[in-house]
Structure 1
Amino acid sequence: MKKKLMQWTYFLDILGYGEEQKNIDNQEKADAFINFMKGSKYLIEGQEQLDKFFYKDKEHNIYDYYDVKTVFISDSFVLTAIPKENLFDEEDYYYFSTFIIMELTFKIFILLEYILKEKGLFLRGGISKKFTDIDIENSLAVGKGLIEAYSLESKFANVPRILLSKDILNDFKIMEFFLNHSKNYSENFSIFKKDKDNFYYLDYLGYMLSFLNKSERNRLNIQNELEDKYSINEELIQKLQKLPLNNSIVNNKTVLENFFIENNISVEKAKKIFASLKDTDGIILKYKDIIKNIQIVKKTTIETLEYFKENITKNLTKYSGDDKIIEKYMWLSKYLNESISLFPELDFIESYKIK
């Protein structure tokens, strides 16, 4: 029997900002807080527009199957993915219902980077698959999903983690599909990790590091193919990927002819380079696109790791005498170090571990 996809609800709280709100005692401070939250809202909305653009030409556009709504309430926000009326058989039902989590996780990572950068704060929360509705215009959210996600955040997410509800965890098929999606990113990554108290939390750092790791592997595979098939070494690849190449062979020919002359490249090698552009995969253009994507992901990831290390280190010292608060930063320190250790191929991230 075919059925609609699952709905997902996140309740996320900016950990520590409630205490800061106690100091809001004039209009200037209130305006600063409101502008900060507006920035968070615009960031989420902007990322969603980019995601929709990315998916519009895909065979399966996840935004054809889901509406994503977000509302900010004080220092918290609610995010829900509401299924449209499409009906799916069991395999696709689980596949697309769980895949949307990968998209939502990227949004959360971008939001976390912003919050860390602006305020040096972290997120905690809960995830439910029960019903929630959001009235964006009036900043209202209602439903069982909201209550369950809020309960997870307030009762159990005592450290900065985003917890999965028990009914999701106990659904074997859901967890199996989460694992399958994770494996498409990296063998060392699972979108949800088990903590020592048997709760599962969202592994947003692993998500981004695995994405970067996979992109680097793709780059190396194409680089090796270029060397083996076209005798184009790494130095030449780096020069080629800086050229203004496009999908017009005629335009590329003019650019490349000038490039060959400037770099004293033989006619034989020039023919191989030009042949690579005619390759059915457009291998040099593909390599150039991967480099561009890696640069964007790498920049975002490194900035976030820097903010993680800076704020955790600072607060480990600041709250050294407060056992309740220090627990949160000890957990984050362990999470950061373990995440980095899973990806030894990304040797440039090793320096962001907390010693």
Structure 2
Amino acid sequence: MDTSTVISLDAMGGDHAPRVVVEALRPVRLQYPGIRFILFGDRDRIVRHLDSEMKDYVEVRHTDEVVASDEKPSQALRRGKNTSMRLAIDAVKAGEAQGVVSGGNTGALMAMSLFSLRPVAGIDRPAIAGFMPTMRGESVMLDLGANSECDDTNLVQFALMGADFCRAVLGRQTPSVGLLNIGEEDVKGNETVRAAAEKLRSLQGDAFRYHGFVEGNDITRGTVDVIVTDGFSGNVALKSHEGAARMVAYTLRQAMTATWAGKIGAWIARGAFKRLRDRLDPNGYNGGVFLGLNGVVVKSHGSANTTGFASALRLAADMVQDGMIDRITKDFQDKGFDARQLKGAESA
């Protein structure tokens, strides 16, 4: 990685901040030797977790102000100019950093990022994209909670951004795209998803292949590379997926420890169980990306451990390295994927 790569961090965002934020820097630095970090937050609380080697690649900038986890986005935007979250975002706007990571209030992070960084030209609304583990590996899913209500143009823009993201991070050159729906048939769903489907059929080509409608069980099957939906359905699907993974792990643990025979079997199969746990652990897929902004913004789960926060940092670093923002900007400008063109795509 280029030695000029800098990631800014809201060091006070998250349930276990700033400890997990600082601890996550070490493994990421080993993977990306040239990367540097700017940490915003309470200096005294941050530095107690730093070691002497970190001074070469970590800068701490003090602020006493923090966005509360239950603070309304509008309130945070009005009063939060000097919070650790806002200062970390503004570092990207000022060109001091190329990406920002926070485990803080999702609504506030979106509001502040939108206000400070602005959407890429041609994009109406940013969307939160993340990874879903599947039987075939991983799929990208968006929107995961930024926009509870969307029109067909929003869904098409999400599909285009999701395809760019999938190519950049998962390396799938012509990713397949599906619209989440209540059935696979063309007549299923509301007018919005049916209109979006018509537009995606007319736009598909080298950039992506439109698969059609997919259902909830297609998410874990890995039927498509990119799953597109509104933020309400996407967030429900994400939380249901994470909850199901925890239930499977809990039920399996209870069953394997209920008897001596089960305990012996669990000890024999401990390697397989560890692989299963790692596969289902949400920390391994931590990091929701705010696609569509003029800057890399990654939201970590507030409850993420050190491994989880490191995953979010790696995702931000990969996006910076790949030139994700330039990629999306080029597609929406050079290929004409702007709102006016998309609104008329069904008649093309």
Question: So what's the TM-score if we normalise by structure 1?
Answer: 0.28
Between 1 and 2, higher relative CO (CA 8 Å, sep ≥ 6) is seen in 2
Question: So what's the TM-score if we normalise by structure 2?
Answer: 0.29
Which structure's residues are more often helix, by fraction?
1
Decide which structure has the larger Cα Rg and report it: 1
